[in-house]
Amino acid sequence: MGLRLSGAADQPKPTIVVIGLAFVATLAGHFTLDRLGLTIPVLNDSRVLLFSALLMAFALEATAAARRPGSRLTRLGTALGTRRSLHPVLLLFGYQMLSAWWAPPGAVLNDVLTDLVAATVLVCVYAALAEWDSDRVVRITLTCLYGAAWLYFLYAASGRGHTASGRWAAFGGGPNVFVRVMILGMLAAVYLYCRSGDRLFWLIGVPPFLVGALASGSRGGLIALGITIVIALPRLWPVLWSRRFVRALLLFVGMGAVFWYFVGETVVALTQNRFAVATLEQRYTSGRDVLYEEGLIVFVEHPVFGVGVHGFSVVADVGTAGVYVHNLPLAVAAEGGVVGLILLVAAFAALRREYARVPYPQRSLEARTAVHCGIVIGCAGLFSGDYYDSRLMWIFFLLAAIRPSAGHRLETPLASRDHRAIN
């Protein structure tokens, strides 16, 4: 699925309306409207309304753009680059949906199939928007992420949304969702700083978002942040010795001290209890070791095709109904077998190959930031989340891999100047 646009820079571009709708539909997650009295299955899924609005807005916008005089916007499904990037991902989703045929009795198929269909719609819409103008989509999406991170942080800092143990969360999502928003907010802040020509005020969000990430108590999320920094470090190393980094560091220290004054005591107590006492002293793993062991057992017992989607919670001896593996590759292995793993690796390989087609000096700042956002979500998916929670990983990898269509610049002047800032 893709939109092909060639020609001059005055060609129509996706508007902030459709990109903003796509962002809201993606960030909203999967929650029902039971609190409003709507209990009809499927119809009470908030995504029904959001996705309907998104698809209508996208269709209207694409149709209007195609009718503009001189527009070279073609029909969907014509871009070779998009097919190379998107089709392996769709093949994986399709196989996972097909595996419902051999899922064991008792598997809750409606929920997982709805999630997979929703993820398919999202990646198709984003792939089409990326083929239209990927850099613009990333730019607006990251700006929205920066704003969303502030909303999440302020909501949690006000004392609302916390778990029973005091871990920070917001808007009905758990701490593992909260930490992802905080980390993506930090990456968005760094991107906006580089994009704006080193305007320091964009970095004001980094200290509070880091405090929020610590207050979430999410060990997997913080490990994902650490892995992403290590991956980016070779390209960031020259920047660490520059004056721009010193200025940013001074701001970070100053703002960090201000936020630490207000919430530092609470965060220290929470992190000490979560990381030092629970993790190191009590060896508390939130049951991840049991889930991973059971996932391997299920994979060994059903190595070829797996047990089918949502089959893990039925056949695994974990003592809790509805539980999932909390590790994307292992979940695919247990429920999709070797076939599922091959398709997963093929999807990653296709995205990596498309991303590498553009040489690093010509790679836009938007593409480099998007791939690191995808890495954060992918690494976090090794410790928490289900299939639908990986949607942002696929979206960001597609935004990084799909090159701007013919006639579009690969990068902006500011992105070119800051090409060493983010790999």
Q: Which residue would you say has higher pLDDT here, 377 or 413?
A: 377
For the record, the structure tokens of 336 come out as 């999709």
In this prediction, residue 196 carries a pLDDT of: 87
Kindly provide the b/e burial profile for residues 372-399, where b requires at least 16 CB atoms within 10 angstroms of the residue's own CB: bbbbbbbbbbbbbbbbbbbbbbbbbbbb
| Residue 222 confidence (pLDDT) above 60 | yes
- Domain total for the chain? 1
Domain that holds residue 321: 16-68+77-417
Contact 398, 355 (CB under 8 A): no
Q: Distance between CA atoms of 174 and 154, rounded to whole angstroms?
A: 16
In a domain, 9, yes or no: no
**What is the spatial distance between Cα 9 and Cα 411, in angstroms, rounded to a whole number?**
13
The 10s digit of each residue's pLDDT in 17-71 is 999 999 999 998 776 655 555 555 655 677 888 898 999 999 888 887 777 665 5
Helices 288-301 and 328-356, packing angle to 10 deg: 80
Q: Which long-range contacts (CB under 8 A, 24 or more apart) does 67-72 make?
A: 68/12, 70/7, 71/11, 71/12, 72/4, 72/5, 72/6, 72/7, 72/11
Residue type, 130: A
List, in order, residues 6 or more apart from 147 with CB less than 8 Å away. none
Percent over 70 (pLDDT), the chain: 80
What is the per-residue pLDDT for 13?
82
Q: What is the pLDDT of residue 79?
A: 45
- The 3-state DSSP class for residue 218 equals coil
Residue 376: pLDDT band with limits 50, 70, 90: very high
Mean pLDDT of the chain: 83
Contacts (Cβ under 8 Å, ≥6 apart) of 253: none
Asked if residue 3 belongs to a domain, the reply is: no
Q: Is residue 24 one of the residues assigned to a domain?
A: yes
The two three-digit tokens of residue 112, written as one number: 């997982």
Residue 197's SS3 state is coil
> 398 and 130 in contact (C-beta within 8 Å)?
yes
Contacts of 392 (CB under 8 A, 6+ apart): 26, 180, 184, 373, 374, 377
Rank 37-51, 191-205, 219-233 by mean pLDDT and report only the highest.
219-233
CB distance 328 to 382 below 8 Å: yes
pLDDT reading at 9 higher than 70? no
For residue 32, the SS3 value is strand
Q: Taking 70 as the threshold, does the pLDDT of residue 350 lie above it?
A: yes
> 6 in a domain, yes or no?
no
Q: How far apart are CA 25 and CA 125, in angstroms?
A: 11
327: left (phi over 0), alpha (psi -120 to 50) or beta: beta
In a domain, 138, yes or no: yes
Our CA angle for 189, 192, 197, nearest 5°, is 130
Q: Provide CB contacts within 8 A for 130, sequence distance 6+.
A: 2, 82, 137, 398, 399, 402
Question: Is the model more confident about 297 or about 163?
Answer: 297
In contact, 89 and 123? CB cutoff 8 Å: yes
pLDDT above 50 for 414: no
- Predicted confidence at residue 420, as pLDDT, reads 38
**Per-residue DSSP letter, 103:** P
Least confident of 1-10, 59-68, 247-256, 328-337: 1-10
Q: What would the pLDDT profile of 94-148 be if each residue is shown by its tens digit?
A: 999 999 999 999 888 988 998 999 999 999 999 999 988 899 999 999 999 999 9
- With respect to residue 4, please indicate whether it lies within any of the assigned structural domains: no
137 located within any domain? yes
- pLDDT of residue 362 exceeding 90, the answer is no
The confidence score (pLDDT) of residue 241 equals: 66
Q: Which residue has the tokens 């470090």?
A: 233
Residue 141: what pLDDT? Answer: 98
Does 273 map to a domain? yes
pLDDT above 50 for 178: yes
Contact 177, 217 (CB under 8 A): no
Q: What is the pLDDT of residue 307?
A: 96
List Cβ neighbours of 245 (8 Å cut-off, separation of 6 or more). 239
Q: What is the pLDDT of residue 221?
A: 93
Lowest mean pLDDT among 4-18, 166-180, 251-265, 388-402: 4-18
pLDDT reported for residue 411: 36
Kindly state the percentage of the chain with pLDDT values over 90: 49
**Quick check: 242 pLDDT over 60?**
yes
- List the structure tokens of 265: 């005591």
Judged against a pLDDT cut of 90, whether residue 281 lies above it is answered with: no
Q: At 154, which amino acid appears?
A: L
